[in-house]
Structure 1
């Protein structure tokens, strides 16, 4: 079956999403951008009280309502305190691999919207000065943020308007190579959001109506555990679209769509998972089935929130999650294909 995916559009949307700052708790700006894209296709877009986006796609039947979710929130940090020497202590949002933050550029956003740049550094940052510059543990207790302003004490920083609770945006360093690799922080899960937006573009361009009414949920707060804890009450089954893991004891690669059979929340719905596997096999979609014991998805959040749904989990394979991540265009393409097949089967 030929599925006409617009590669340039997929990569363009992935890059635009990855370059927008949206750590958990600061997703209103990126959600406004997504809303403009969705409404340009003629689909209804609404936001929940906590800032999640919901896109409704009318289907041939309302007998079932299929939910698709991906989270737009990312890892990040906040200002924890200001030191006497004018640097910033930070607290993490979500679970980034902290050693990868050493020497990483960042932005500090004040509550009145001012932006300052800075760098995450060890508190022993120089090999010419500190004997433990290489061996010192890289964690939040032994790191700080150096601000790119003339500050010599806590009071100087406060005069800039920087205060405890300000968001710190980590530089994503997004790069798309000619060979089709996407290198960036936060492909988890903006790669999947790009897949869902591109699926909407495909359905609009080809005038595709899904078999059942479909609701796409763009969630916030997933990285801190409660992204899709609320979903529309009429959703009967839900596919979380989130990154596939790559590594020891796993089959997924950067070119596959992952189908997760079980994660920390337990097994996913048997029939939905089986349908997805069969659809991938029958339509020559490159896929892998894996178990992710150190993983939780929007479906897990929805089930723990008391929603009476069946659930499954798929997504593009992503290497080095929560660090400097990488995937390939073909993983996004295979994810879009499998979603399309599921909605039109």
Structure 2
């Protein structure tokens, strides 16, 4: 494993260890901001709480959009929950942050962050979760109305829980359970999209340490509201002619991408990505001998599309390391991470070898 790969993997694991559901990302942003600054970049916090940085200076304009400034985007906000009420047993009822699905969050350990700064642990369970007691256990649909957070505190009533300082609006973060196997598989909740944040940090490190100077100006934006649709709708410099979202590549039935590959998205639920950008990404991958796949994602939206919906006139594209079991306990591979990094190098006119 080379230095850049090791760095990307370690940064990914570190960011995964910092709770950051959408709307509660300050701790992760502080870490990522510091990581850019350690690399020698003048990174800044946006008003929304994201990270913005120019990693390669260059001309503000170009006759060909393919040579004009480009914005690379990844998001560090994840799925999670918010306390919407406390029931009579002192257990917490949740409202989803982003697309957190209760079907695959059952029996997951979680943390409750109070407004006073205290943190309590608990488990997200079906109500009446003892199968030896609940005769309807197998037949009950897993929904937020049917599930609750059981606190690891001796509470028996709503008043007991409120006495801990827990209230409606508190944030609930789920355990990522990150592990990397000897065979190279990366398993964790929230690889979407912290894996790509690690990749963009790796690309920034590569530029700094090799003193590479691409012809294009390159910005990076780590967004914090992608999971609710408006992460990439702001902080887009006026000179940007192209947005490239680096997000999760889909793996599943009907798609060709594997976890070891980089996925190039041709179309998702928001429509087609810019034809010339997709074509250029494919050509760069072929020239660099990057292991890639091209797919259409049936249920997906990206920061790049949020940027276009904000009114900016630019081209857009989407790539990412192949990820299986999206919005669940996700799985990718070190090779998928490496192939995404190599495609970024190739597309942005870097050398064509890892």
TM-score bucket of the superposed structures, by smaller chain: over 0.9
Task: Give the secondary-structure state (helix, strand or coil) at the position aligned to 2:24.
Answer: coil
Partner of 2:120: 116
Residue 214, structure 1, aligned to residue 218, structure 2: yes
Give me the CA root mean square deviation. Answer: 1.1
Partner of 1:338: 343
Task: Give the secondary-structure state (helix, strand or coil) at the position aligned to 2:237.
Answer: coil
Partner of 1:132: 136
CA contact (8 A) 1:73 1:223 kept: yes
Q: Greater shift after overlay, 178-187 or 55-64?
A: 55-64
For 1:58 and 1:199, the matched residues in 2 are separated by: 11
CA gap of 1:259–1:108, structure 2 versus 1, over 3 A, is same
List aligned pairs for 1:296-311, cutoff 5 A.
296-311=301-316
Partner of 1:314: 319
Task: Give the secondary-structure state (helix, strand or coil) at the position aligned to 1:332.
Answer: helix
Partner of 1:107: 111
Partner of 1:13: 11
Instruction: Render the CA deviation track for 1:251-300: whole Å, top value 9, x for unaligned.
Output: 10000100000111111111111010001011110000000121000011
The Cα of 1:65 is off from its aligned counterpart by: 1.0
For 1:143 and 1:299, the matched residues in 2 are separated by: 35
Residue 241, structure 1, aligned to residue 246, structure 2: yes
TM-score by length of 1: 0.97
The Cα of 1:5 is off from its aligned counterpart by: 5.8
Match of 2:83 among 65, 79, 86: 79
Partner of 1:198: 202
For 2:188 and 2:77, the matched residues in 1 are separated by: 15
The Cα of 1:338 is off from its aligned counterpart by: 0.6
The Cα of 1:99 is off from its aligned counterpart by: 1.0
For 2:110 and 2:262, the matched residues in 1 are separated by: 31
For 1:15 and 1:253, the matched residues in 2 are separated by: 21
For 1:270 and 1:15, the matched residues in 2 are separated by: 34
Residue 97, structure 1, aligned to residue 101, structure 2: yes
For 2:214 and 2:114, the matched residues in 1 are separated by: 44
For 1:298 and 1:16, the matched residues in 2 are separated by: 23
Aligned residues: 342
For 1:157 and 1:22, the matched residues in 2 are separated by: 24
Partner of 2:277: 272
CA contact (8 A) 1:5 1:202 kept: no
Partner of 2:73: 69
For 1:127 and 1:225, the matched residues in 2 are separated by: 38
The Cα of 1:48 is off from its aligned counterpart by: 1.5
The Cα of 1:96 is off from its aligned counterpart by: 2.1
For 1:211 and 1:41, the matched residues in 2 are separated by: 21
For 1:149 and 1:58, the matched residues in 2 are separated by: 51
Instruction: Render the CA deviation track for 1:100-124: whole Å, top value 9, x for unaligned.
Output: 1111000000011100000000013
CA gap of 1:258–1:5, structure 2 versus 1, over 3 A, is farther
Q: Greater shift after overlay, 101-110 or 8-17?
A: 8-17
CA contact (8 A) 1:15 1:174 kept: yes
List aligned pairs for 1:165-180, cutoff 5 A.
165-180=169-184
Instruction: Render the CA deviation track for 1:197-244: whole Å, top value 9, x for unaligned.
Output: 011111111111221111101001100111101122221101000101
The Cα of 1:58 is off from its aligned counterpart by: 3.0
Instruction: Render the CA deviation track for 1:304-332: whole Å, top value 9, x for unaligned.
Output: 11111110000000000000100000001
Residue 324, structure 1, aligned to residue 329, structure 2: yes
Instruction: Render the CA deviation track for 1:183-203: whole Å, top value 9, x for unaligned.
Output: 000000001111000111111
Question: For structure 1, which runs of at least 5 residues remain unmatched after alignment?
Answer: none
Partner of 1:252: 257
Question: For structure 2, which runs of at least 5 residues remain unmatched after alignment?
Answer: 62-67
Partner of 1:187: 191
